[in-house]
Structures are given as C-alpha cells and as structure tokens.
C-alpha cells in the first residue's frame, strides 16, 4: 500500500532563486532507510504492504543546508483516514535515526493536516492534550482545554505553531473583549488589500507575543526586500474629507525605518520600528492629516533603511489604521 508521494519539492531561500530539492529521478540528495523510500512516476514515494505496520517511524533526510526558506510541494496520500505522514522542519537526527523537532502533519485532510506537532517526547503520532501537557513542560498557562482547541483547529487544516507559544499561555479558547481603538474608521492591517509588495506581505498571528495586545491578535507582516522597497495597500472611505491618520504596528530587533504616503503624498515623519529586544506594540501613532476622496485610496509604506543596531531585515508590521474625520 503506497501511503505518501511527494510530487514536487522546491525551496525558495530569501534573496535567492528557487532551488529544486528533488531531481524527479533519483534520491541522490537524500538519505533514508533502503526499502522504504523510492522514486515512482517522478515522485518521492514511501509505501508499506497491506496489513503491515512500521516498527518505528522512518525518515528521509535532505542533505543540503538552508537559511530562511519557503518550502513548496504537492503530495498525495492513500490508505484511508489512518494513513499519516509529515514533514520535519529543522529537526535533528538522533542515534536511532529518529528526527527530533517539529513536524507539519500530513493526512488526507480530515484530521491533522497542517498541525505543527512536537515530535520530541511525544510517543504517539496522534498526541492527546494530556500527553502533550505531560511532555512539554515549562509552559505556564498551558491547559488540556486550550490544547484540545488547538488540536481541533489543526484537524481542520490550520497550521498551529506550538513552538511560538513556548513560555506563555496558549491563545486558544475565549479571547479578551475587543478594546476601544477610538472613533472613526478602523482598518485591520491583516484585512487590507495588498496592491504591491516588494517582498512577502502576509497576515501574521501576534497572539503568542501577548493575547489581546494587537487588535484581532493579528497584523499585516511585511518583509521588505531592501532599502526603498515599497508596500502599497488599498482602503475605501464613504465620503470625501480631511482625516487625521493614526497608525498602530510593531517594534522588534529586525524591524526597519519606514516612511508613509497617502495617495502618493508624504504623510508625517519616517518612523524607526527598531527595539533592541523582544517584540512590542507601538500604540497609536499620529501620522498627520490627509484629504481622502470618496472610494478607494492607497497607503504606501517605504523602507527608508534600518537602525544601526538593528538586524538588517527591514521588517514592518501593520496592526491597524484609524481614520478620524476632521470636525
């Protein structure tokens, strides 16, 4: 019974061209137990005979090295709801050949697809909340109830990054009431339409940095490619008028210095979002006044550089915009 086939594997490291990890014909760049892994129909394939089970988990290791990366692949799995596999992320190979680290679970999409399950110390491929709580010690605020909510969400296909919540409570279950952001029109950053982005610009959960601090526990996260990179988002207002523009975002060691324009006109002074340690919220920052036309308008963020002490990644986070009409 074939239970897993990787149809395409490619990796895109930041500032480099995509690199194929699999040549479609051989396992020359891979290492695993012979007999379990093969190449069939141009895909990396693992299979076991009907009625048989594995005495232990088997792993296929890529021999290369990477920095930051995005992994892209297609997979096919057969064998019914019990068929299960996964992709290990930055894992260490122990003396027995077992991969100790985090696994993005793979199945047919009905149970655990996308769950980021800690492998080290977990004896079951289907960990229960009680088992996770027993082995993953040192996490104040973790409860079986919250773990079950997270596992249920993972079972629906959501990627749950358990490691991001190490050392603090899990952000699952009831959330604190939405705080008052002030009068006017509020645009959540993660919901804004991105028109242009020089570098990845995606919604990011911020709950692990403090549940309830970021509006909606999320932000629009932009990794600017270099100095003078731009991110442009679109928003709409119902009537033409002059507005006070307020911004809320994020500060961290790898965040850059950024300036703002509204519909092409400069707005306020450039802002330095560097801080030497941890991650924090900026609070509301008043950028200035702008006349907006009824309908669609644009906000552009421009990477102006980085603080001399910052990690040179030019990052930027947009929690929300607040537009307060002039009275």
Instruction: Give the tens place of pLDDT for each residue, 36-89.
Output: 888 888 888 887 777 777 777 788 888 887 777 788 888 888 876 667 788 887
**Mean pLDDT for the stretch of residues 277-295:** 92
Structure tokens at 254: 């790898």
Per-residue pLDDT, 45:
86
Average pLDDT over residues 20-30: 87
What does the domain layout of the chain look like in residue ranges? 2-165, 185-325
Name the pLDDT band for 122 (thresholds 50, 70, 90). Answer: very low
Rama region for 161: left / alpha / beta (φ>0; ψ in -120 to 50; rest): beta
Residue pair 189/220 in contact (Cβ under 8 Å)? The answer is yes
Query: Phi and psi at residue 139, in whole multiples of 5°?
Result: -120, 90
Percentage of residues of the chain with pLDDT beyond 70: 77
Name, in order, each residue with C-beta under 8 angstroms of 234's C-beta and a sequence gap of 6 or more: 192, 193, 195, 296, 297, 298
Structure tokens at 297: 């308008």
More confident residue, 12 or 14: 12
Question: How does strand 201-205 pair with strand 19-20?
Answer: unpaired
Quick check: 248 pLDDT over 90? yes
Tens digits of residue pLDDT in 181-216: 888 999 999 999 999 999 999 999 887 787 778 998
Q: Is a pLDDT exceeding 60 seen at residue 325?
A: yes
- CATH topology classification for 185-325: Jelly Rolls (2.60.120)
């Amino acid at each position: 019974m074939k239970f897993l086939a990787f149809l395409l594997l490619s990796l895109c490291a930041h500032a480099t061209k995509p690199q194929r990890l699999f040549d479609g014909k051989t396992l020359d760049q891979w290492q695993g137990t012979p007999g379990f892994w093969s190449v069939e129909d141009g895909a990396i394939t693992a299979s076991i005979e009907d009625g048989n089970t594995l005495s232990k988990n088997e792993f296929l290791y890529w021999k290369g090295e990477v920095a930051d990366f995005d992994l892209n692949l297609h997979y096919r799995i057969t064998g019914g709801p019990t068929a299960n596999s996964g992709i290990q992320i930055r894992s260490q190979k122990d003396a027995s050949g077992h991969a100790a680290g985090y696994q993005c679970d793979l199945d047919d999409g009905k149970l655990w697809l996308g769950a980021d399950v800690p492998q080290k110390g977990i004896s079951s491929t289907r960990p229960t909340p009680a088992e996770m709580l027993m082995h993953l010690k040192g996490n104040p605020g973790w409860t079986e109830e919250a773990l079950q909510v997270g596992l249920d969400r993972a079972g629906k296909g959501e990627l749950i990054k358990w490691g991001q919540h190490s050392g603090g409570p899990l952000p699952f279950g009831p959330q604190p009431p939405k705080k008052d952001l002030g009068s006017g029109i509020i645009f959540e950053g993660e919901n804004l339409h991105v028109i242009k982005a020089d570098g990845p610009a995606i919604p990011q959960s911020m709950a692990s940095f403090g549940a309830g601090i970021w509006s909606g526990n999320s932000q629009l996260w932009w990794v600017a490619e270099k100095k003078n990179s731009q991110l442009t988002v679109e928003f709409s207002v119902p009537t033409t008028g002059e507005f006070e523009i307020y911004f809320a975002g994020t500060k961290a060691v790898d965040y850059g210095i950024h300036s703002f324009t509204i519909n092409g006109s400069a707005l306020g002074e450039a802002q330095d979002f560097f801080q030497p340690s941890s991650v924090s919220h900026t609070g509301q920052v008043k950028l200035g006044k702008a006349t907006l036309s009824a309908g669609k308008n644009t906000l552009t963020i421009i990477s102006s550089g980085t603080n001399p002490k910052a990690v040179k990644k030019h990052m930027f986070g947009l929690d929300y915009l607040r537009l307060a009409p002039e009275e």
